[in-house]
C-alpha cells in the first residue's frame, strides 16, 4: 500500500544549492496600476519581458470609478491608497524602480510629491510616472513640435499640454477622442488601434510636428508605435512606452530593445 513505508527508514540526503540574482538579476521593477486600468499591465509585460528583468505589480483602488467624467479633483485623490499598494508589490525584495500608472494623475499631483510618497515606503527606489517618462522621452528624442492626443476632457488635456509646453516643447496641434453617445472615460481602453492610428496620422500631417504623444495608460497604442513611425516618419510616444522605457533606464538596463519604437533603441 502507498504510504506504509516507515518514515524512519527513508533515506534522506543533502541537496546543495547556489543562489543567483533570480528573475530580476538586471532590473527589479515594481508597478502600481489603477484598478480600472485595462491596458497597462498587458503592455508593460510585453515591453518588459526581457532577460534579467522582473516586473511585480500591485493594484490600487481608484476613487470615483463610477463618475462619467474625469476631473482634476478625482485625479488629486487617485493615489490615496498608495502606501498599502506599495507595501504589496513584493515582500521579499525591494524594487530598484517603482513605476506609477495614470498619466493625468501623475501630472496633477507632481513627480516630487509622488517620489516623496513612494520613498517613504521604498526609500532606495527610483520613481517614475508616465508624465515624467513622456517629458524624458521628448528630451531624449530631441523633439521640437508636438502633436498630442488623449481621451481626457478638454480641461485636463489643456493642463497636461500646458505642463508639456512649460518643459520647452510647444504643442501646436491636439486632438481629443470623441464619439456620439460614448462615455470616453469608460471607452478609452476599448478605443480601437485603427482609431488611434487615424488620430496619429492626422496630427503627423500638421505643419512642423515631429513627435506625437498618445497620452493615457488605458490607450492600446504600444503595438502601433513602430508601424506608425515607419509610415509617418515621426517620433511616437505613448504613456505606457515612456513609463516602461524610463523604468528600464533608471534601473540601469541600457540595452537597445526592438519592437517598441525609436525611444526603446536610445
Could you tell me if 126 and 191 lie in one domain?
A: no
Could you tell me if 86 and 161 lie in one domain?
A: no
Could you tell me if 119 and 78 lie in one domain?
A: yes
| Range list of H helices, 52-110 | 72-76, 82-87, 103-109
Could you tell me if 101 and 197 lie in one domain?
A: no
CATH of the domain at 212: 3.40.50.12500
Could you tell me if 69 and 123 lie in one domain?
A: yes
Is residue 21 a part of any domain in this protein?
no
Could you tell me if 32 and 80 lie in one domain?
A: yes
Quick one: CA dihedral 241, 168, 256, 21, positive or negative?
negative
The whole-number pLDDT of residue 5 equals 63
Is residue 37 a part of any domain in this protein?
yes
Residue 56's H or E segment, with its range, is strand 53-60
In the chain, which stretches have pLDDT less than 70?
A: 1-5, 63-74
Is residue 99 a part of any domain in this protein?
yes
**Sheet of 211-214, strands arranged across:** 173-176, 146-150, 211-214, 235-238
**Segment 207-263, tens digit of pLDDT:** 999 999 999 999 999 999 999 999 999 999 999 999 999 999 999 999 999 999 999
The whole-number pLDDT of residue 3 equals 57
The whole-number pLDDT of residue 98 equals 97
CATH of the domain at 50: 3.40.50.1860
Domain that residue 163 falls in: 133-239
Is residue 22 a part of any domain in this protein?
no
Is residue 12 a part of any domain in this protein?
no
Is residue 205 a part of any domain in this protein?
yes
Could you tell me if 126 and 95 lie in one domain?
A: yes
Is residue 219 a part of any domain in this protein?
yes
Residue 265 contacts residue 241 (beta carbons within 8 Å): no
Could you tell me if 108 and 120 lie in one domain?
A: yes
Report how many domains make up the chain: 2
Could you tell me if 93 and 167 lie in one domain?
A: no
Could you tell me if 138 and 231 lie in one domain?
A: yes
- State the residue for C-alpha cell 505589480: 57
Backbone angles phi and psi of 223, in degrees to 5: -70, -15
Is residue 175 a part of any domain in this protein?
yes
Could you tell me if 155 and 67 lie in one domain?
A: no
Could you tell me if 62 and 146 lie in one domain?
A: no
Amino acid at each position: 500500500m502507498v504510504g506504509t513505508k516507515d518514515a524512519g527508514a527513508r533515506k534522506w540526503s543533502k541537496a546543495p544549492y547556489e543562489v543567483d540574482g533570480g528573475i530580476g538579476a538586471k532590473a527589479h521593477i515594481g508597478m502600481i496600476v489603477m484598478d480600472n486600468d485595462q491596458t497597462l499591465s498587458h503592455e508593460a509585460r510585453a515591453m518588459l519581458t526581457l532577460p534579467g528583468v522582473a516586473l511585480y505589480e500591485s493594484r490600487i483602488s481608484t476613487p470615483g470609478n463610477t463618475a462619467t467624467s474625469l476631473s482634476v479633483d478625482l485625479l488629486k485623490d487617485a493615489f490615496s491608497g498608495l502606501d498599502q499598494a506599495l507595501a504589496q508589490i513584493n515582500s521579499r525584495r525591494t524594487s530598484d524602480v517603482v513605476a506609477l500608472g495614470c498619466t493625468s494623475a501623475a501630472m496633477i499631483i507632481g513627480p516630487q510629491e509622488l517620489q516623496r510618497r513612494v520613498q517613504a515606503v521604498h526609500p532606495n527606489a527610483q520613481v517614475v510616472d508616465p508624465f515624467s517618462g513622456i517629458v524624458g522621452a521628448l528630451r531624449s528624442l530631441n523633439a521640437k513640435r508636438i502633436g498630442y492626443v488623449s481621451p481626457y476632457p478638454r480641461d485636463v488635456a489643456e493642463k497636461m499640454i500646458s505642463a508639456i509646453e512649460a518643459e520647452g516643447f510647444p504643442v501646436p496641434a491636439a486632438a481629443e477622442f470623441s464619439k456620439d453617445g460614448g462615455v470616453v472615460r469608460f471607452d478609452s481602453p476599448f478605443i480601437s488601434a485603427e482609431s488611434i492610428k487615424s488620430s496619429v496620422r492626422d496630427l503627423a500631417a500638421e505643419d512642423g510636428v515631429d513627435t506625437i504623444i498618445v497620452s493615457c495608460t488605458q490607450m492600446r497604442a504600444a503595438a502601433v508605435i513602430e508601424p506608425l513611425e515607419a509610415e509617418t516618419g515621426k517620433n511616437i510616444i505613448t504613456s505606457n512606452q515612456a513609463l516602461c522605457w524610463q523604468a528600464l533606464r533608471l534601473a540601469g538596463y541600457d540595452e537597445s530593445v526592438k519592437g517598441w519604437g525609436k525611444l526603446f533603441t536610445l
